[in-house]
């Protein structure tokens, strides 16, 4: 015989599944209307415009540091180009991890559900984004900036041991800070048209991915077992630390003629840079705090990452 408590739990579970399907159906409809083919949408052959930036100067890591004030305008713009390439490289690394996490998430779920069909649609989007970022790096003539071997191996470990809520927390971490920066980039007329086009496509399509991840993470944190929630808090805090360090590749400084150690030290000491990263993460950290991810040791790890005040 089913008890009243069990009946309530079953009713709640069925309600969450229904809500999950409704969200997925809306996202599938949006994907059908607002998806892009970067190879056709963007003018990849147009020359770069003289004097235009590749990333908003206020978002360049050295902005407002003593070193920045000594750099010429040309060197600042060149740094913005290399940092844009480093962020595109980071995006490729992260999206490859995300695609593997999504495949794991849907492995044992009903293939005909809207939830799974949207996950496959998102994987399709991420494939296009990774190719778009790779083409952007090649078009700019800068190096590809892979993450360090340590971070690459940590990513390999994380995607192997991550819980489902941990996977969606990491998804949002990788997407929301870059999304905030890109929302400032694509309307900015100081920026190269190709960069604006790439960021516009990414912002439009990532908005769906963020909605999908937020809705699923909220459900997961309501239903996951205690150990899973705590493990999610710890792993997400550690991934925040890795991500905050990997956000800028120190080799960009060497490649624009700067002293790498001096540049890294000034970025770490920069109040402006700290404010940029915390502002970019605030919408996410407010959400994670609301659903119970930022607690205990995990919260301390987020603070040590510099993404949480």
Number of domains, the chain: 1
Is residue 37, in this structure, part of any structural domain at all? no
Strands of 163-298, DSSP E: none
Output the CA–CA distances (angstroms, integers) from residue 201 to 57, 92, 206, 208, in the order listed: 21, 15, 8, 12
For the chain, which ranges sit under pLDDT 50?
A: 1-2, 4, 6-11, 13-14
Is residue 71, in this structure, part of any structural domain at all? yes
Is residue 168, in this structure, part of any structural domain at all? yes
Is residue 92, in this structure, part of any structural domain at all? yes
Neighbours of 175 (CB within 10 A): 21
Q: Identify the domain containing residue 172 by its residue range.
A: 49-305
Is residue 20, in this structure, part of any structural domain at all? no
Q: What local confidence, expressed as pLDDT, does residue 17 receive?
A: 67
Is residue 15, in this structure, part of any structural domain at all? no
Neighbours of 68 (CB within 10 A): 20
CA distance 13 to 27: 21
Q: What local confidence, expressed as pLDDT, does residue 105 receive?
A: 92
CATH number at residue 131: 1.10.620.20
Q: What is the mean pLDDT of the chain?
A: 92
Residue 46's contacts (CB-CB under 8 Å, 6 or more residues apart) are 193, 194
Is residue 19, in this structure, part of any structural domain at all? no
Output the six-digit token pair for 257: 């003629």
Q: What local confidence, expressed as pLDDT, does residue 18 receive?
A: 78
CA distance 34 to 269: 41
Half-sphere exposure of residue 198: CA atoms within 13 angstroms, side-chain side: 27
Q: What local confidence, expressed as pLDDT, does residue 163 receive?
A: 87
Q: What is the pLDDT of residues 174-192, one digit of tens each?
A: 899 999 999 999 999 999 9
Is residue 247, in this structure, part of any structural domain at all? yes
114 neighbors 66 (Cβ within 8 angstroms): no
CA distance 139 to 47: 10
């Amino acid at each position: 015989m089913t008890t009243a408590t069990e009946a309530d739990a079953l009713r709640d579970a069925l309600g969450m599944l229904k809500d999950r399907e409704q969200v997925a159906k809306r996202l599938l409809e949006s994907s059908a209307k607002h998806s892009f083919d970067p190879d056709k949408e963007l003018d990849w052959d147009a020359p770069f415009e003289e004097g235009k930036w590749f990333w908003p100067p206020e978002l360049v890591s050295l902005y407002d540091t003593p070193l920045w004030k000594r750099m010429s305008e040309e060197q600042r713009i060149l740094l913005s180009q290399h940092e844009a390439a480093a962020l595109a490289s980071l995006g490729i690394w992260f999206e490859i991890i995300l695609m593997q996490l999504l495949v794991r998430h849907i492995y044992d779920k009903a293939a005909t559900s809207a939830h799974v069909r949207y996950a496959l649609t998102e994987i399709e989007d991420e494939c296009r984004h990774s190719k778009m970022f790779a083409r952007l790096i090649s078009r700019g003539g800068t190096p590809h900036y892979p993450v360090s071997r340590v971070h690459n191996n940590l990513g390999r470990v994380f995607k192997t041991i991550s819980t489902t809520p941990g996977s969606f927390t990491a998804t949002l971490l990788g997407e929301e800070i870059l999304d905030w920066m890109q929302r400032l980039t694509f309307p900015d007329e100081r920026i190269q048209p190709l960069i604006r086009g790439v960021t516009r496509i990414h912002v439009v399509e990532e908005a769906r991915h963020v909605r999908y991840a937020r809705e699923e993470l909220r459900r997961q944190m309501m239903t996951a077992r205690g150990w899973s929630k705590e493990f999610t808090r710890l792993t997400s805090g550690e991934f925040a630390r890795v991500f905050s360090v990997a956000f800028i590749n120190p080799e960009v400084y060497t490649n624009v003629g700067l002293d790498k150690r001096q540049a890294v030290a000034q970025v770490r000491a920069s109040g402006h840079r700290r404010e940029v990263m915390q502002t970019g993460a605030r919408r996410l950290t407010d959400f994670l705090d609301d659903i119970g991810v930022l607690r205990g040791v995990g919260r301390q790890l987020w603070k040590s990452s510099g993404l949480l005040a």
